[in-house]
């Protein structure tokens, strides 16, 4: 920065020496020279002024200054910290330089141009010396600073007047701001960027609240802070802890925050302090209030806030009722405020006029989903965010059996059966669209739905990037065993790519869900392709791709295949799916749905080798040389002498003297000692097809042995 100094000869000619009587005798002090640290500056800059002072003896002096600009506008002394702002220095005898900061806070009538600095030094009780018009510099235009400034009042669970937003509305609005890349800023950050001192984020936003209602603390702040934003709170300092019965919008009557709650707001939520500023003490109309009332409201509101937060300047004001005129604006400046906020006006596109910064009222009619008949109330329009509305036509919606790809027979879907919903749609404009789907047995999505692609973890939405023309979208859904058996409705939703805005939606009549609840005892008598549901079946064994269930009576058991099922042995399960016969000859359920539902402890059935497998039951074939009832699928216990043991293929053959050698296989987690000569094994009675016949097979789950 350039330091400008006038010639000593000129300043000496201007200097006025003043003698003051004091305890130490006559005191002489003069300004020998001056300096200013800049050749140009902007509003809200802090510049440095220099005073070269000659003193006959040591003293203490106040360094004062004013600026005089175009049309003789005077800019008084103001500190960026807090009024009253006086700069005192200990002055040594002799000639020395002394410096002070000067914060430029332009009044309403100030313009850009040349400003001269008027230097004054005061000491003692009445002595002073001045050096007028000694230095000058240019004040240049503030930078264009675009920032949507949102205005809120009350947040709750209902809309009582235009000043209310529901918590869901606020959450949707904050989600949009976050998704579209906005960063919240404080009042000081806005002014510093306007002055060119700092750079704002790419998309700044100010989230302001008027009043200090308690629902800001209980409802609004947790939501706002949860999205990483820091709001601005304009406090009505004289009503903290009181109700709003005096307020014109007092149905219902609600409380203002207590000061303890304000303190909690200030330092909570990941150290994201709120920006506390003034909204006056008692909310009078400043345009009709007396001068003394205005000054009291402006100064005392700041003092109250600073009594709790002494490090906060509190140098921004929000007009009560949004009401102001020239006198009110001038009062803000004369009471050391740096800017003031109106209660409307739209988007602040440049922040040129700081004594009535525009705000965007976020009232109860603001919408976050697109409605062409309410474009002026659309949130993206409110904040000035550009967007393209997709033009989508749904060509067809089909409901297919996922296993066959054919339409559902009779348009009916069974528990455990998987449906493929296929949607063909056309977009006439190239846009990014997130497509989501819901399924439910009524058209009221507000009471919950059976399936929501966006609520799945991970989400099962379909993202169509730069979608233009015709596309096909597909979803899979398997109704759980508690799905209502009735007519279903499919909801189709076209959203922005962040899933924060819904461009359009439609409901379509879908399929009818039917139940096929069957007793496990009849499972082996039902034909292949039959859908069946079994509730609270006991799980006796489990592997990563399948598990076995059986009746508590141990009369019958069944293999259930569902890769990645996560169902543990010892639990109960609700399961639904399609019955089939595997190539091995074993009947099983291909489960489309499985969910744990309690706990069970089933003891194994003790069988000799010959009894394992058993004879035919329904469509479950018996094993070769069958003896006794069918027990394929049951948890059994067998024992015998080890005839052979293959640790590589994890297979052993045992002989219990019944005349039948029994093949047993194990998998990871089962410990088999190759030195064992006799074993007792617990496992599942299964089968395998060898040479066209079913042979006995036990799937080991635990083993004991000896030598």
Where residue 548 falls among pLDDT bands split at 50, 70, 90?
A: very high
Could you tell me which residues are beta bridge partners of residue 278?
A: 235, 317
The per-residue pLDDT for 16 is: 37
Predicted local confidence at residue 571, as pLDDT = 97
Query: Can you give the pLDDT at residue 56?
Result: 93
Which pLDDT score, from 0 to 100, does residue 447 have? 83
Q: Give the CATH class of 520-599.
A: mainly beta
Residue 82 has pLDDT above 70, yes or no: no
- Give start-end residues of each CATH 2.70.50.60 domain in the chain: 4-139
- How far is it, in rounded angstroms, from Cα 624 to Cα 689? 10
Closest CA to 645 of 653, 656, 636, 634: 653
> Which residue spans of the chain are classified as CATH 3.20.20.370?
149-361
Q: What is the rounded average pLDDT for all residues in the chain? A: 92
Whole-number pLDDT of residue 266: 84
**pLDDT of res. 435:** 98
- Match domain 4-139 to its CATH number in 1.20.1250.20, 3.40.50.1010, 3.20.20.70, 2.70.50.60: 2.70.50.60
The CATH number of 149-361 is which of 3.40.50.300, 3.20.20.370, 3.40.50.970, 3.30.428.10? 3.20.20.370
With bands split at pLDDT 50, 70 and 90, how would you rate the model's confidence at 85? low
Ranges for all domains in the chain classified under CATH 2.40.50.200: 520-599
Q: For 379-391, what is the mean pLDDT?
A: 96
Which of 5-14, 135-144, 149-158, 574-583 shows the lowest per-residue confidence on average (mean pLDDT)? 5-14
- C-alpha 680/C-alpha 700 separation (Å) is 10
The rounded distance, in Å, linking the Cα atoms of 594 and 574 is 6
The pLDDT tens digits of the residues spanning 491-544 come to: 999 999 999 999 999 999 999 999 877 788 888 999 999 999 999 999 999 999
CATH of domain 392-510: 2.60.40.10
Range 652-663 burial, b when 16+ CB lie within 10 A, else e:
bbbebebebebb
pLDDT exceeds cutoff 50 at 4: no
| pLDDT > 90 fraction of the chain, expressed in percent and rounded | 87
| CATH number belonging to domain 605-706 | 2.40.50.140
Q: What is the mean pLDDT of residues 135-146?
A: 96
Instruction: Outline which parts of the chain fall under CATH 2.60.40.10.
Output: 392-510
DSSP-based three-state secondary structure for 383: helix
- pLDDT of 181 > 50? The answer is yes
Q: What is the token pair recorded at 327?
A: 């006198």
CA 581, CA 157: separation in Å to the nearest integer? Answer: 55
The dihedral region occupied by 78, where left means phi > 0, alpha psi between -120 and 50, and beta the remainder, is beta
Residues of the chain with CATH 2.40.50.140: 605-706
pTM for this one? 0.83
**Residue 289 · residue 236 · CB < 8 Å:** no
| pLDDT per position as a tens digit, 28-47 | 899 999 999 999 999 999 99
Check residue 132 and give its pLDDT: 61
- For the cut 50, the answer to whether the pLDDT of residue 224 exceeds it is yes
Give tens-digit pLDDT for 323-382. Answer: 999 999 999 999 999 999 999 999 999 999 999 999 999 999 999 999 999 999 999 999
What pLDDT score does 268 carry?
55
Residue among 591, 631, 593 nearest 615 (CA): 631
Given this model, what pLDDT does residue 14 score? Answer: 36
């Amino acid at each position: 920065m350039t330091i400008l100094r006038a010639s000593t000869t000129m300043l000496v000619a201007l200097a006025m020496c003043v003698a003051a009587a004091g305890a130490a005798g006559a005191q002489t002090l003069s300004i020998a020279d001056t300096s200013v640290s800049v050749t140009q500056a902007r509003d809200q800059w802090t510049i440095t002024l220099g005073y070269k002072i000659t003193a006959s003896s040591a003293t203490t002096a106040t360094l004062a200054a004013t600026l005089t600009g175009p049309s003789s506008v005077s800019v008084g002394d103001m500190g960026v910290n807090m009024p009253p702002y006086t700069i005192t220095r200990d002055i040594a005898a002799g000639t020395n330089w002394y410096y002070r900061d000067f914060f430029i806070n332009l009044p309403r009538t100030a313009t850009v141009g040349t400003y001269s600095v008027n230097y004054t030094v005061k000491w003692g009780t009445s002595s002073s010396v001045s050096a007028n018009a000694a230095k000058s510099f240019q004040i240049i235009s503030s930078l264009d600073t675009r920032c949507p400034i949102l205005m809120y009042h009350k947040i709750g669970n209902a809309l009582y007047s235009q000043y209310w937003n529901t918590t869901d509305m606020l959450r949707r609005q904050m989600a949009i701001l976050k998704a579209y890349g906005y960063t919240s800023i404080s009042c000081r950050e806005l002014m510093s960027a306007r002055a060119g001192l700092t750079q704002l984020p790419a998309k700044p936003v100010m989230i302001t609240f008027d009043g200090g209602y308690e629902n800001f603390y209980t409802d609004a702040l947790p939501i706002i802070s949860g999205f990483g934003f820091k709001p601005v709170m304009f406090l009505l300092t004289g009503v903290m802890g009181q109700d709003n019965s005096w307020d014109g919008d007092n149905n219902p009557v609600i409380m203002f925050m207590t000061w303890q709650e304000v303190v909690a707001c200030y330092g909570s939520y990941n150290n994201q302090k709120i920006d506390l500023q003034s909204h006056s003490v008692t909310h009078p109309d400043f345009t009709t209030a007396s001068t003394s009332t205005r000054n009291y409201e402006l100064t005392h509101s700041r003092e109250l806030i600073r009594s709790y937060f002494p490090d906060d300047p509190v140098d921004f004001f929000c007009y009560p009722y949004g009401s102001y005129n020239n006198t009110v604006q001038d009062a803000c400046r004369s009471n050391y405020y740096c800017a003031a906020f109106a209660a409307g006006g739209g988007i602040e596109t440049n922040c040129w006029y700081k004594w009535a910064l525009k705000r965007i009222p976020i009232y109860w009619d603001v919408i976050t989903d697109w409605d062409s008949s309410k474009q002026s109330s659309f949130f993206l329009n409110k904040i000035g965010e550009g967007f393209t509305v997709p033009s989508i036509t749904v060509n067809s919606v089909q409901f297919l059996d996922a296993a066959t790809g054919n339409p559902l027979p009779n348009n009916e879907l069974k528990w455990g059966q998987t449906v493929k919903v296929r949607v063909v749609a056309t977009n006439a404009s190239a846009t990014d669209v997130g497509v989501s789907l819901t399924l439910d047995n009524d058209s009221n999505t507000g009471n919950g739905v059976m399936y929501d692609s966006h609520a799945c973890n991970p989400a099962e939405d379909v993202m169509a990037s730069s979608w233009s023309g015709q596309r096909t979208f597909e979803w899979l859904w398997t109704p759980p065993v508690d799905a209502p058996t009735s007519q279903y409705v499919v909801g189709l939703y076209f959203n922005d790519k962040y899933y924060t805005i819904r461009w359009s939606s439609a409901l379509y009549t879908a399929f009818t869900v039917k139940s096929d609840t069957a007793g496990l005892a009849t499972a082996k008598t039902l034909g292949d392709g039959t859908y069946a549901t079994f509730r609270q079946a006991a799980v006796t064994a489990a592997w990563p791709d399948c598990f076995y269930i059986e009746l508590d009576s141990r009369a019958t058991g069944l293999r259930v295949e569902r890769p990645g099922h996560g169902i543990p042995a010892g639990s109960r399960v609700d399961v639904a799916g399609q019955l089939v016969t595997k190539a091995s000859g074993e009947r099983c359920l291909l489960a489309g749905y499985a969910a744990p539902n309690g706990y069970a402890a089933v003891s194994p059935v003790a069988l000799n080798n010959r009894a394992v497998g058993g004879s035919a039951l329904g469509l479950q074939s018996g094993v070769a040389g069958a003896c006794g009832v069918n027990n394929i699928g049951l948890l059994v216990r067998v024992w015998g002498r080890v005839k052979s043991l293959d640790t590589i293929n994890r297979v052993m053959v045992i002989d219990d003297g019944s005349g039948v050698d029994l093949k047993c296989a194990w998998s990871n987690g089962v410990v088999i000692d190759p030195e064992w000569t006799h074993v007792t094994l617990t496992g599942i009675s299964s089968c395998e097809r060898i040479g066209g016949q079913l042979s006995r097979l036990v799937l080991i789950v635990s083993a004991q042995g000896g030598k």
